Structure 1
Amino acid sequence: MDNIDRQLIGLLRDDARVSVASLAKQLKVARGTVQNRLSRMEADGTIVGYTVRVRPQVESQQIRAFMTVAVEGNRTEQVLRALRGHPNVVALHTTNGRWDLVAELRTDNLEEFDRVLRQIGLLDGIANTETSLLLSTQKL
């Protein structure tokens, strides 16, 4: 990956729907160059997909939280597999320090949130969790 590829990815992070012509103009390269680079990065797995970011206010009815997780022994992969399959876990991060994992959770209401916390707390391999509700987002 060279500097043009990195710039191209940066532009797509800002707006994944931007046209190839616009990308070419911003990068000062030919449209074919942009299309070829995109095709190559998609084929080799550098770019694995495109997504939509939604303002938090649009999903204001959702309960959002970060759950930090301490894993028992060497069971991190087992816990990751279980959390990856959970419909209320929208992101997972490994970390160092006191906690082994950070999971972002989303539910539609507090009753469902309570149920999700109990479900996750009972998973094999989880030693301890701590959860913080996200009250507001200051910057996107």
Structure 2
Amino acid sequence: MHVAKYVPDELDRRIIAHLRSDGRAPLTSLAEALGVARGTVQNRIDRLLATGAVLGFTVRMREDYDDLTVHAVMMIEVIGKSTTQVVQRLRGIPEIRRLHTTNGNWDLVADIQTANLPDFDRVLREVRMIDGVANSETSLLLSSV
């Protein structure tokens, strides 16, 4: 039996947008903001969770909450067909918060967050030592604008 993939509609996208800005918003507030019944919002959220369209809810931190944290973006070039192995190794580095494939001259983009500059230096060395990493370029994120 083939199960059809769930495709969120406009109301689902609006619910998701509201939850992104306040994941703890009461259902009644969401329903009022969206102009639908509370039960409709509850059913939609339940379906988004059941189908895996929404995986869960998380805490969003204020950008300046921890000014001492080092944030960076690393562009990574991979040799030949070793992307799968490189990705597996990169996923093992806890300071890499997110990892994306991309197009252009670079193959991967890593979002890095460390507690301090010595940890950041260690992460850079770890990435560069991975077999299959040909080149990388890293930019520190200094401030949000």
Normalised TM-score (structure 2): 0.90
Please give the per-residue CA displacement for 1:73-110, whole angstroms capped at 9, x wherever unaligned.
11212212211221110111111111111101111111
Is 2:94 the counterpart of 1:91?
no
Write the distance in 2 (CA, Å) between the matches of 1:93 and 1:59.
Answer: 24
Specify the code of the residue in structure 2 equivalent to 1:93: H
Instruction: Give 2:3's aligned residue.
Output: none
CA RMSD of aligned residues (A): 1.1
1:123 is aligned to 2:130? yes
Provide the rounded CA distance (Å) in 1 between the counterparts of 2:65 and 2:21: 19
Match of residue 37 from structure 2: 30
Equivalent-residue separation in structure 1 for 2:62 and 2:100 (angstroms) = 22
Identical-pair percentage: 51
Deviation at 1:56? 2.1
Over residues 9-52 of structure 1, what are the superposed CA-to-partner deviations in whole Å (9 max), with x where a residue is unaligned? 11111211111111111111111111111111101100011112
The partner residue of 1:64 within 71, 76, 81 is: 71
Secondary structure of residue in 1 paired with 2:23: coil
- Alignment of structure 1 residues 33-52 onto 2, 5 Å: 33-52=40-59
* 1:60 to partner: Cα distance: 0.7
Structure 1 runs of 4+ aligned residues shifted over 6 Å read: none
Match of 1:112 in 2: 119
Q: Which residue of the partner structure matches residue 80 of structure 2?
A: 73
Q: Which blocks of at least 5 consecutive residues in structure 1 are unaligned? A: none
Letter in 2 for 1:42: L
TM-score, normalised to structure 1, is: 0.93
